[in-house]
A and B are shown apart, each in its own frame.
Chain A
Amino acid sequence: MDIIKKGSAPDKTQLAHWAQKYALEHGADNTSIVISRNRSINVDFRDGQIDKLKESTQNSLWIEIFAGGRYSTHSTNDLRQESLKKFISDAITMTKFLGEDPYQALPDPALYKGRPTMDLELYDANYTKVTPEDRVARARELHDLIQGRDERLISISSGFSDSHYENTHLKSNGFEGNYESSSFSCGASVSLRGENDKKPEGWRYYGARHLNDLPAPQQIADEAFQRALDSMGQQKVKSGKMPLLLENSAAGGLFWRVLYPFTANAIQQKQSFLEGMQGKRIGSEHLTLIDDPVIVRGLGSRYYDGDGIAAKKLVLLEDGILKNYYVDVYYGRKLELKPTTGGASNVTFKTGRRSGAEMEADLDRGILVTGFIGGNANSTTGDFSLGVSGWLIENGQRVQPVSEMNISGNFVELFGSLVETGNDPYTYSSLRSPSLLFDGVSFAGA
């Protein structure tokens, strides 16, 4: 069987079936195979010329082997059939030296049923129409829209990239999935000459599944430049408890840290502060979090997860009450919990009435956080300590750009102090948070 013709991409479905058959004939009891191909092109433009052109195509085969109650995973980018034969045989041989794990097995096929039938529009047919000249022109346009705006400009970098991803997933107990997706991203970063050798910087990058969903170049250029201006003269202000207004596009920097504690993995390994909290309050009534995998063109949208579980909405938090965890098949078995889905797709929030700008205008004194820098969180206890930058707000006005400050606390306390959510969810991320207003957050600065 000659699956890979010289000079052409392998037929992924055929190759997956061949690899499955080969593994099952050579000692595997079951397999799960993912074959993917990703083509991507990036153009970086800087200070009037192309800085970097990069073009690449990568392939990979990932196989999970279940043999004699043992489990292992293997990946390779060498998809030639002869190489794969040895690769798979070696993988099976190695698996047999491992310990038995009664919880490692393929999912119950019932979980595969009920896959969404709607078109999630993960692939943009315009993808093939983008030419090398278009890419350069798009990157150059962002650069040119910023150039000359300010005599303090040191450097402007801009970029455009796109990629095309194809994926085939096959499990030996009856699961088969195929999808392709596209993604486009563009943005700019700006450096200015500040005081004391400081080079305040600002950047704005956007990503979308469809080319036409990217914001207009003028908007991106304005925002990147404004963010650089905003960081001119940043200072820390005095430590204390203050309201925190979290900009919608920055909220991901906080919320992705809470996703692991929501998983059965963290709970089973006793590394989650959310263990035993199902049905209990962990946030104010303003906090509702829903995992929604079926948003058309959503960056985290999917038809099924890595276990093959058919995608559906999952309520994580409703009016501050913890409703569900992310339960994958393996840790679900260990905890005797019914699987929901292994991890986050798109996380959506219940939105409020006002925009971030309206909330800001109404703030007597507090800090608008527009970015995080460093820090970490303890998933076992829920404690966090994170670097922040943004603005000190007084009487609704931005009075002082702020940096070199930290916020610290515990997630349960923080979520309990959420007093308002905005009406402005950020759709250029799979964490689609609106602007959020928290009361009484500990800021450390001067």
Chain B
Amino acid sequence: MRIMSRRDFVKVTGTGLALTTIPGFMQKTLAGMAGGSQPHELYFQRFGVDPETIRKVMAEALAHGGDYCDIFFQNTLSNSIRVEDNIVNSASTEVELGVGIRVLKGDQTGYSFTEDLSLNSMKAAARTAANIASGSKRVPPTELKAIDLTNHYQTNLSYEDVGVQNVVSMLKSVNDAIFQQDSRVVKAGLRYSDSENYILIANSLGEFATDYQPMIRLISFCTAEQNGSRESNYFDYAARDDFNFLTPERLERMPREVVARTLKLFEAQPSPAGELPVVLKAGGAGILLHEAIGHGMEADFNRIGTSIYSEKLNKKVAADFVNIVDNGTNPHIRGTINVDDEGIPSQETFLVEDGILRTYLHDRISAKHYGLEPTGNGRRQSFKHNPMPRMRNTYMLNGPHTFDEIVSNVKYGIIADQFTNGQVNIGPGDFTFYVKSGALIENGKVTAPIKDVNIIGNGPKVLEEVTMVANDLELSEGGWTCGKNGQMVPVSQGMPSCLVSSITVGGRG
């Protein structure tokens, strides 16, 4: 199903259904919402503020001598629809609106937020945040200048204009197709969700930025039975894109993929245990980078010296052909942002270049500490949270080898192709990632499938063990979410196929 003209579409289906609602003063801004290239004025209207109001709030925020303040307005409209037991058994909508006010004094943070966007309420929140400082007042900027941004997720259709019944019919056809794949399928489930995030951020440097951040996600679940045993698996898509992201090709692939992933588990043998060579298949395997190096490179840990990477900048950490980036500009990828939540335009940042550790991921606090420009990694879960250095899309660039060369190089080891979750301890550098499915490699050939095995290693050690990198980089289209200090942000990751020569595989021996 491809939807061409959004306005006509609304008329045809007769919905015009606001799946979501917004406060009265914003309603006039609704027309022409899709696309992410709305004029700035619409954002000011959406939040019922003007530069003068913002200046008044900043005056309160800086009343005790803060070095810097920023004001983060956010309005998020989310919908989800769930299919279970062949029917749409639930749907939900969520509206969030509010403003977070942050005051910095050196590297100290004062933070407060309010869900009430009246001037009095914002001023009260600003006064709370201002208390981190205790000096004489500073003067807010006299004017606000817009920061120029490039749009990395242009869309042509707002989710609202798709119409619930069109989403429902798409879900029903995917659901039916899952059951049609194989008679062993006994249960299927689908969760569709979309979210539109509108932000306006202004700071005491006299700058402001606006952004429209769409996100669509579709997850499929499947359980199958064979000879009295049962297996479940899932497959999902996520993107900063409109409904047309769910192309016929992607929608046809989903049922095939989720069923194949589930049935494969019936053939799985117990994984071997202990230190083994592990081949990571291109794509979601970038979870290794996220945990093994990404978090450790977040500059908040490094500026206080608690990361295992704190002394390794400009040192050789991996083979020459290893290049690792954290990039916020990949079109439509889940971790992409036009601007970070501190008003810094997104960019591509090299963590490792030709095997040498290059740049930490900075927010404003750490960039100031190091005397560097921020890298656009200052992100937050919502207006209820202060920004921190966070990853965007983290991946390794292509290397000199091929997938076949890598596999044929392994005498006895495993190949891992589906990943679910990972974790890291920043200081010691120990990290894990969970392999939902993979296979044994014996004498250079992929043999029996394996499943459900955790892999654990130490970040810098594992980087040294990356001995082959293929030329088949894939960015994951899955719905990855990264948690840090209780805040969740959408990210993605990618990897060319690669060989880790030795790492601990948690099989049963």
- Hey, which bits of chain A sit against chain B, CB under 8 A? 7, 46-47, 49-59, 71-78, 80, 82-83, 86-87, 90-91, 93-95, 97-101, 103-104, 132, 154-155, 191, 194, 197-201, 231, 234, 236, 239-241, 269-271, 334, 373-381, 383-387, 389, 403-409, 442, 444-446
Contacts and interface: CB of A to CB of B under 8 A. Distances in A.
A154 B132 contact: no
Contacts of B432: 373-375, 387, 406
A198 B96 CA distance: 41
B93 A54 contact: no
B506 A406 contact: yes
Interface stretch (B105-113, B194-202, B409-417): B105-113
B273 interface: yes
B20 A90 contact: yes
B454 A99 contact: no
Given A408-B454, A446-B275, A74 B306 contact: no
B305 A380 contact: no
B506 A155 contact: no
Nearest to A334: B85
Nearest to B103: A53
B311 interface: yes
B: interface residue count bin: 35 or more
Point out which of A46, A52, A271, A406 has the most chain B C-beta atoms below 10 A from its C-beta.
Answer: A406
A150 B24 CA distance: 59
B230 A270 contact: yes
B504 A404 contact: yes
Contact of B97 (A77, A99, A383): A77
B452 interface: yes
Nearest to B89: A101
A446 B98 CA distance: 51
Interface string B115-157: 1000011000000110110000000000000000000000000
A334 B89 CA distance: 12
Contacts of A155: 304-306
A52 B109 contact: yes
Point out which of A199, A201, A271 has the most chain B C-beta atoms below 10 A from its C-beta.
Answer: A199
B434 A374 contact: yes
Interface string B229-248: 11110000000000000000
A75 B509 contact: no
Point out which of A99, A200, A383 has the most chain B C-beta atoms below 10 A from its C-beta.
Answer: A99
Contacts of B282: none
A50 B108 contact: yes
A405 B425 CA distance: 14
Contacts of A240: 509
Chain B's interface: helix, strand, loop or mixed, by majority?
strand
A413 to B, nearest CB: 10
Interface of B: 15, 17-24, 81, 84-85, 87-98, 107-115, 120-121, 128-129, 131-132, 164-165, 168, 186-187, 189, 221, 223, 225, 229-232, 271, 273-275, 291, 304-312, 384, 386, 420-434, 436, 451-458, 460, 504-509
Contacts, number: 279
Nearest to B485: A44
A374 B429 contact: no
A375 B457 contact: no
Contacts of A376: 420-421, 434, 436, 452, 454
Given A269-B189, A374-B456, A442-B508, 5 more contacts: A50-B108, A95-B91, A200-B427, A373-B432, A374-B431
Nearest to B94: A75
5 contacts: A52-B132, A95-B91, A154-B305, A197-B460, A201-B428
Given A373-B430, A380-B223, A77 B96 contact: yes
B304 A59 contact: no
B428 A403 contact: yes
A376 B233 CA distance: 13
A50 B15 CA distance: 53
A78 B95 contact: yes
Contacts of B453: 385, 408
A442 B509 contact: yes
A72 B92 contact: yes
A384 B421 CA distance: 13
Contacts of B308: 197-199
Given A72-B93, A97-B164, A444-B509, A405 B21 contact: no
Point out which of B85, B132, B420, B425 has the most chain A C-beta atoms below 10 A from its C-beta.
Answer: B425
A406 B230 contact: no
B378 to A, nearest CB: 14
A60 B465 CA distance: 49
Contact of B506 (A93, A389, A407): A407
Contacts of A98: 81, 88, 90-91, 164, 168
Contacts of A442: 273, 507-509
A47 B508 contact: no
A103 B90 CA distance: 11
A388 B63 CA distance: 49
Contacts of A334: 85
Nearest to A93: B17
B112 A56 contact: yes
A365 to B, nearest CB: 17
A37 B164 CA distance: 31
B210 to A, nearest CB: 20
Nearest to A59: B115
A378 B435 CA distance: 11
Contacts of A199: 305-308, 310, 426-428
A333 B458 CA distance: 48
